Amino acid sequence: MDDRIWAWAPATVANVGPGFDVFGFAIEGAGDRVAARRRDEPGVVLVGVEGDEGRLPRDAESNTAGVAARALLEAVGETEFGIELSLEKETPLASGLGSSAASAVAAVTAVNELLSSPASLPVLLQCATEAERAACGFAPADNTAPSLLGGFVLVRGGTPPRVAQLPVPEGLSCALLHPHQQVRTEEARAVLPESVPLATAVEQWGNVAAFVAGLVQGELDLLRSSIHDAIAEPVRKANVKGFEEVSRAALDAGALGCGLSGSGPSIFALCHSPARAEEVVRAMSIALEKATDDRGDILVSPVGVAGARITTEGSSV
Amino acid sequence: MDDRIWAWAPATVANVGPGFDVFGFAIEGAGDRVAARRRDEPGVVLVGVEGDEGRLPRDAESNTAGVAARALLEAVGETEFGIELSLEKETPLASGLGSSAASAVAAVTAVNELLSSPASLPVLLQCATEAERAACGFAPADNTAPSLLGGFVLVRGGTPPRVAQLPVPEGLSCALLHPHQQVRTEEARAVLPESVPLATAVEQWGNVAAFVAGLVQGELDLLRSSIHDAIAEPVRKANVKGFEEVSRAALDAGALGCGLSGSGPSIFALCHSPARAEEVVRAMSIALEKATDDRGDILVSPVGVAGARITTEGSSV
């Protein structure tokens, strides 16, 4: 009998519009699965990683799933037993879809089921975020929080990070295009300015305010006018071939707005309905192909699906 | 018979919490009144200013009320007649309560009634904001917009400025303390940094997001956690004697949060109820007296009262 506990954690879109480092939401159709079982010896071991074409670290000390599991054992003071993990990646790596966050969140979710006294969500969030930080050098919880909790999430600093879930208008959908390019999170962060002109910062938080007001009140015009990032996107978009063309195609096809998911290269477009998102994502893919000879991978998801969960063996959701 | 049109425009609190240059709301109990009548000669004349102890410019080219009136005549192409204005100040000058904005808004509101084709609200807002800019050197419409439209307002750049009114939780009240100190808006702006560290900017727009979510959803805990300005207040509070003591007293007395109104010296505190605001404002006044031997002037108002309006002669509201 398989005594493993399986958990699934969704991929996530972060840096949504003006909400650099503060907004993120969970999507369906991509994510990571972790299986965990107790072992008699203390410590965490990673016995298998699939779906990454051999590119992720195989040792539990370096892989975010292993780091997150160990952080959780330490947080709850568990020394009686250890954990054996295996990881199945269904989130593309270095895509801007919160791949390392999904691994970390799936790991803490699975391991938590093995504890005699399960930890609280804030503790799980803290452990997953620490693990992502170990992998990426920096992690503001804007991927780990929506992956763990689901929904559209506002993240602010703190230990554990302070999180608020925001309601989302009925039907709001995300068109996602993942170009076959890779952007390393560390490098994408290195191109950011250390400081921003005050006028630019004011413009950004005016848009953040309009975005939240639009989201919570379901006012699509406010959303449409505020999905704009004056901080990261101007310096990061140069690293994503075809970004301008894809972005224009998304807007022309009726998206409310468009931007880089995380640090890219994935490009998200928010749409008022699933049907519109289907049209938009096709237009984005065609535009990418025209610009780069790559159609990329496409995905359409509601904005803010359920977060991490325990699953039965083999099932993804 | 008096053929003058009277208008009243409320004073306003701007730079609310993290919303530097983007949030403002109208208050009751302070504001400006303007009387306007047609004159046969073109142009704008100012025939009287009261309530300013002789400190404001008497010529229509320099007084914001006159500048705003002229801007409106020009905007609508009115050359057949001119305007005679008189201004009654019931907003303390250089107090951080939008005194020049109230004059400009009252002027355009009164003059608009005299036009054969009245201008739209965006045109009135643009004219009043231009006039405030002429007086203060800079004006982001975070005083003119709430004074004109009423309510709690989100302002973003543009010509005319883009404005969204945000709903306010039932009972939300403002305790206001006006110390008998003066802060010149130009000087208060000169101390601002030209740029802000990215981490500080992220903190600020995280709080902006939480503030809007709290306001729109009526979640007081989100408001309480987000009424914080990491940008202007740290450099401006040194110009307001007693600020730290008053701020502490407001929080100790149960305010949700506290900050400088506009560029100060007035200090606002947001409270969940009018009764709490009454307690808080007394505590603020006592703390100011202990620190500076001045009790200041106090005022309690709902957050976001009605905006500018035509009144009968002699009546303020």
Who among A166, A210, A231 is closest to B156 (CB)?
A210
**pLDDT at A232 (0 to 100):** 94
Q: Residue B157 and residue A206: Cβ atoms within 8 Å?
A: yes
Highest mean pLDDT among A47-56, A175-184, B129-138, B252-261: B252-261
Q: How far apart are CA B167 and CA B148, in angstroms?
A: 16
* Greater model confidence, A61 or B198: B198
- Chain B positions touching A157 (Cβ under 8 A) are 203, 206
Distance from CA of A226 to the nearest CA of B (A): 10
Q: Residue B198 and residue A203: Cβ atoms within 8 Å?
A: no
Q: Residue A210 and residue B20: Cβ atoms within 8 Å?
A: no
Q: Which two tokens stand for residue B262?
A: 């506009």
Query: B104 near B131, Cβ under 8 Å?
Result: yes
Strands B195-197 and B23-39 turn out to be unpaired
DSSP state of B118: P
Q: Residue A21 and residue B212: Cβ atoms within 8 Å?
A: no
Q: How far apart are CA B59 and CA B52, in angstroms?
A: 14
Who among A140, A195, A212 is closest to B212 (CB)?
A212
| 3-state helix vs strand vs coil in chain A, percent to 5 | 35, 25, 35
- Chain A positions touching B157 (Cβ under 8 A) are 203, 206
Q: Which amino acid is at B272?
A: H
- Chain B positions touching A206 (Cβ under 8 A) are 21-22, 154-157
Structure confidence by residue, pLDDT tens digits, A108-122: 999 999 999 999 999
**pLDDT at B38 (0 to 100):** 96
Who among B155, B192, B202 is closest to A22 (CB)?
B202
Q: Which amino acid is at A276?
A: R
Q: Among A232, A225, A224, which Cα is nearest to A200's?
A: A232
pLDDT level of residue A316 (50, 70, 90 thresholds) = very low
- pLDDT beyond 50 at A95: yes
**pLDDT at B123 (0 to 100):** 97
- pLDDT beyond 80 at A43: yes
| Per-chain mean pLDDT for chain B | 93
A184-188, B85-89, B299-303: which range is least confident on average?
Answer: A184-188
Q: Residue A207 and residue B156: Cβ atoms within 8 Å?
A: yes
- pLDDT beyond 90 at A60: no
- Chain A positions touching B198 (Cβ under 8 A) are 192-196, 231
Q: How far apart are CA A205 and CA A219, in angstroms?
A: 18
- pLDDT beyond 90 at B43: yes
Single pTM value for the model: 0.95
β partners of residue B299: B176
**pLDDT at A317 (0 to 100):** 44
Q: How far apart are CA A21 and CA B205, in angstroms?
A: 10
Looking at chain B, the whole-number percentage of residues with pLDDT higher than 70 is 98
**pLDDT at A134 (0 to 100):** 84
Structure confidence by residue, pLDDT tens digits, A263-289: 899 999 999 999 999 999 999 999 999
Interface list for chain B against chain A, based on CB atoms closer than 8 Å? 18-23, 140, 154-157, 162, 164, 166-167, 192-198, 201-213, 216-217, 222, 225, 231
- The residue in chain A having the minimum alpha-carbon distance to the alpha carbon of residue B20 is A202
**pLDDT at B190 (0 to 100):** 85
Domains of chain B: 5-166+304-311 (3.30.230.10), 173-302 (3.30.70.890)
pLDDT level of residue B53 (50, 70, 90 thresholds) = confident
- Chain A positions touching B205 (Cβ under 8 A) are 18-20, 22, 201, 204-205, 208
- pLDDT beyond 80 at B64: yes
**pLDDT at B314 (0 to 100):** 56
A120 Cβ contact partners less than 8 Å away, ≥ 6 residues apart: none
**pLDDT at B316 (0 to 100):** 46
Structure confidence by residue, pLDDT tens digits, B275-307: 999 999 999 999 999 999 999 999 999 999 999
- pLDDT beyond 70 at B110: yes
Mutation for testing the B interface, residue in A152, A212, A215, A224 having most B CBs under 10 Å: A212
- The residue in chain A having the minimum alpha-carbon distance to the alpha carbon of residue B155 is A206
Q: How far apart are CA A124 and CA B258, in angstroms?
A: 33
Q: Could you count the other beta carbons within 10 Å of the beta carbon of residue A316? A: 14
* Greater model confidence, B139 or B175: B175
**pLDDT at A315 (0 to 100):** 52
- Chain A positions touching B217 (Cβ under 8 A) are 167, 216
Q: How far apart are CA B107 and CA B72, in angstroms?
A: 9
**pLDDT at B294 (0 to 100):** 96
Q: Residue B205 and residue A18: Cβ atoms within 8 Å?
A: yes
B158 Cβ contact partners less than 8 Å away, ≥ 6 residues apart: none
- The residue in chain A having the minimum alpha-carbon distance to the alpha carbon of residue B222 is A164
- Chain A positions touching B190 (Cβ under 8 A) are none
Taking chain A, what is the end-to-end CA distance rounded to the nearest angstrom?
21
Looking at chain A, the whole-number percentage of residues with pLDDT higher than 90 is 81
**pLDDT at B268 (0 to 100):** 98
- The residue in chain B having the minimum alpha-carbon distance to the alpha carbon of residue A20 is B202
* Stretch A61-72: mean pLDDT: 94
* Maximum pairwise Cα distance, chain B: 62
A71 Cβ contact partners less than 8 Å away, ≥ 6 residues apart: A108, A126, A127, A128, A130, A131
- pLDDT beyond 80 at B2: no
